[in-house]
């Protein structure tokens, strides 16, 4: 309707259920979203349980297919490499910010940890896994699909190995700091790697002693 349909062309990544006039799709499908006048707004992930009913993948007539997913993953890898930050652990894909809504991918050395908390992204796990094996070539891929939001989406909470070998501990680095992490039991996708760039920036200015309160493993202070 006028609310959601008008905002999507301006870049809004979501459409809420209250803005959907009609839906002819099953839970978890990739759908074509049309505006009030029937114009194609793009392809999107569809959920029949979440308040975020539509998560946009493309705009206009661009089709969301396996080629698009591969391109988005390749772009994510190229962007992280372009930052040239000294670290073996980093956030590779950050959901909507990486143009892959509700998909989180963290790299911990030769291991990838993925999380897909939405109905629409969950069925794409096999495709995403195959593409990651081809594009990134990790030794192992672990799915940390255990957040409670999956229950609200009607999905099972589970932790499972999707590819290769996933050890119980992985040694990673960020600058001069070394960590030994547990990919199966760490918080969320283990290390809050979405803050890596902020920690690198803070290190340019911070001097002396630093109090790092209530911040998981104190990575800013380290």
Q: What is the pLDDT of residues 132-175, one digit of tens each?
A: 999 999 999 999 999 999 998 999 999 999 999 999 999 999 88
Could you give the angle at which helices 66-83 and 125-135 cross, rounded to 10 degrees? 50
Number of Cα atoms under 13 Å in the Cβ half of residue 217: 15
Per residue in 167-214, pLDDT tens?
Answer: 999 999 988 889 999 999 877 777 888 888 888 888 888 888 878 787
Phi-psi region of 76 (alpha: psi -120 to 50; beta: other; left: phi over 0): alpha
pLDDT at position 3 is 58
pLDDT at position 221 is 82
Instruction: Answer yes or no: is pLDDT of 121 > 80.
Output: yes
Sign for the pseudo-dihedral over CA of 161, 132, 117, 200: positive
Distance, in Å, from the CA atom of 29 to the CA atom of 119, rounded to the nearest integer, reads 8
Question: How do strand 111-115 and strand 14-16 relate by DSSP bridges?
Answer: unpaired
Cβ-contact 40, 61 below 8 angstroms: yes
pLDDT at position 4 is 62
Q: What angle do CA 130, 192, 139 make, to 5 degrees?
A: 30
Classified as helix, coil or strand, 79 is: helix
Instruction: Answer yes or no: is pLDDT of 64 > 90.
Output: yes
Model confidence, pTM: 0.89
Q: What is the DSSP secondary structure assignment for residue 50, as one 8-state letter?
A: S
Instruction: Answer yes or no: is pLDDT of 2 > 90.
Output: no
Distance, in Å, from the CA atom of 25 to the CA atom of 181, rounded to the nearest integer, reads 41
Q: What is the DSSP secondary structure assignment for residue 159, as one 8-state letter?
A: E
Average pLDDT over residues 3-25: 84
pLDDT at position 73 is 97
Contact partners, residue 199, CB within 8 Å, separation at least 6: 174, 219, 220
Average pLDDT over residues 50-66: 94
pLDDT at position 209 is 82
Per residue in 15-55, pLDDT tens?
Answer: 999 889 899 999 899 999 998 888 899 999 999 999 999 99
pLDDT at position 5 is 64
Per residue in 67-101, pLDDT tens?
Answer: 999 999 999 999 999 988 889 999 999 999 999 99
pLDDT at position 124 is 95
Phi-psi region of 109 (alpha: psi -120 to 50; beta: other; left: phi over 0): left
With b meaning 16 or more CB within 10 Å and e meaning fewer, what string describes 15-54? beeebbeeeebebbbbbebebeeeeebbbbbbbebbebbb
Instruction: Answer yes or no: is pLDDT of 1 > 70.
Output: no
Token pair in block for residue 136:
């990134």
């Amino acid at each position: 309707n006028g609310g959601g349909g008008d905002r999507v062309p301006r870049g809004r990544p979501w459409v809420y259920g209250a803005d959907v006039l009609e839906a002819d799709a099953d839970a978890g499908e990739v759908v074509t979203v049309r505006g009030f006048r029937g114009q194609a707004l793009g392809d999107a992930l569809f959920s029949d349980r979440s308040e975020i009913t539509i998560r946009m993948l493309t705009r206009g007539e661009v089709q969301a297919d396996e080629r698009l997913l591969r391109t988005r993953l390749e772009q994510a890898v190229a962007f992280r490499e372009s930052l040239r930050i000294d670290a073996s652990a980093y956030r590779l894909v950050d959901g909507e910010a990486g143009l892959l809504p509700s998909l989180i991918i963290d790299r911990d050395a030769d291991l990838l940890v993925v999380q897909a908390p939405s109905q629409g992204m969950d069925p794409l796990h096999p495709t995403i896994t195959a593409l990651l094996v081809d594009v990134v070539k990790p030794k192992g891929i672990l799915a940390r699909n255990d957040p409670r939001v999956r229950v609200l989406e009607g999905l099972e909470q589970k932790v499972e190995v999707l590819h290769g070998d996933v050890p119980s501990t992985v040694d990673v680095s960020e600058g001069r700091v070394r960590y030994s992490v547990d990919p199966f039991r760490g918080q969320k996708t283990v290390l809050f790697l979405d803050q890596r760039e902020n920690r690198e920036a803070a290190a340019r200015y911070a001097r002396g002693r630093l109090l790092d309160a209530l911040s998981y493993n104190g990575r800013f202070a380290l």
